[in-house]
Structure 1
Amino acid sequence: MENIIQILKSGGTILYPTDTIWGIGCDATNIDAINKIFEIKKREKNKSMIILVENEKRLQDLVDVPEMAWEIIDLSEKPVTIVYENPRGLPKELLADDGSIGIRLVKNDFCKKLITKLNKPLVSTSANFSGEKSPLKFSNISQEMIDLVDYAVEENREVVSKYSGSSVIKIWSDNRIKVLRE
């Protein structure tokens, strides 16, 4: 784990198992690392990426969390990414065109431990090239992708995710909601 943290702190990128699919990640406060992920994925910069946080405090440090968001987080059995308005302390490179950000409060132990040790939010985007299918397990990731990142995490390589992605729900400060992905 310490090796992974050092890579992230030095601006590196990793392949890692999330609570849904395998993802590419980096320190969500490091603009150079974020740009590296856009390059690796061959992704247009106007397509925002989400971030993962390990606890409610970190989430509240980054955004004002509407009451409806807490209810959805508490009641959802499937991992859920919520798109919030007006984030604080995050690079503009991570934000959508309207200034919003998708954030998922992770529930799985590996991601919680990783983010806690990094002590910063973690970028998460599927470990595939733009337009390709998202990898449910490590063996679904192309060798080219593996070669482009700085480190591929060893944990949970054979585990197959039961989720092909998280639900994505946009919540406005007035508690209006819109489901962007089931």
Structure 2
Amino acid sequence: MTQEEDIRNAVRVLREGGIILYPTDTVWGIGCDATNPEAVAKVYKMKQRDDSKALICLVDSDARLQRYVRQVPPVAWDLLDAAVDPMTIILDGAVNLAPNLIANDGSIAMRITREPFSHELCYRFQKALVSTSVNISGEPAAQNYCDIAPELLEQADYVCFARRQEHKPHKPSSIVKLGQDGQVTIIRK
């Protein structure tokens, strides 16, 4: 299967409200349309995760990030520009997303992916994509396709073919929370 076909299949499933498993700029992710509350609910159920714990969203560009946050503070752009490794930023004022994806305080965790496959997937989908690690909540994240538990493979509507043969260490992104007062809090290094 070509990457083009793989992405086309994944986008079709996402548009139908389905759940995909896909390689990201960090670990393998469980993905769905971040604007679809029913799809987001399926992800929480699949992970056996309390829906009070927010999920991360991936986007392909600065412009797309700005569609989902009322005001991106200048310090966010500075942090993203300075980041060497993938960085997720928690921003206040989430908009245009499924209500069950937004944290109780109105914030959302967003990351701009530069990894070729997930970037192209986000670009083709034209919306924010949920990106939470492939694992049951509390268990280790699937760094590679071979690490994915069989029951999670069975629950997905589509599993991407990209990078299935890969066997190398991957780690989750760093997470930084930006407060309304400009305060920067490191959640995960």
TM class by smaller structure: over 0.9
Aligned-pair distance for 1:91? 1.7
SS of 1:180's partner is strand
> Percent identical across equivalent pairs?
38
Given the alignment of the two structures, is residue 6 of structure 1 paired with residue 15 of structure 2, yes or no? no
Taking the TM superposition and a 5 Å limit, the aligned residue runs for 1:86-165 are: 86-160=93-167, 162-165=169-172
Partner of 1:68: 75
In structure 2, how many angstroms separate the alpha carbons of the residues matched to 1:173 and 1:126? 28
Runs of 4+ in 1 over 4 A off after TM superposition: none
CA deviations on 1:116-172 (whole Å, 9 max, x unpaired) are 111110001010001100111000001111001101100011224544100000012
TM-score normalised by length of structure 1: 0.96
Preserved contact between residue 37 and residue 100 of structure 2 (Cα < 8 Å): yes
In structure 2, how many angstroms separate the alpha carbons of the residues matched to 1:19 and 1:176? 26
Preserved contact between residue 21 and residue 164 of structure 1 (Cα < 8 Å): yes
Partner of 2:34: 28
SS of 1:62's partner is coil
In structure 1, how many angstroms separate the alpha carbons of the residues matched to 2:171 and 2:165? 15
SS of 2:58's partner is strand
Partner of 1:18: 24
Aligned-pair distance for 1:4? 1.1
TM-score normalised by length of structure 2: 0.93
One-letter amino acid of the structure 2 residue matched with residue 16 of structure 1: Y
**Cα RMSD for the two superposed structures:** 1.1
1:38 to 36, 40, 44: 44
One-letter amino acid of the structure 1 residue matched with residue 185 of structure 2: K
Preserved contact between residue 36 and residue 97 of structure 2 (Cα < 8 Å): no
> How many pairs are equivalent?
182
One-letter amino acid of the structure 2 residue matched with residue 55 of structure 1: S
Aligned-pair distance for 1:95? 1.2
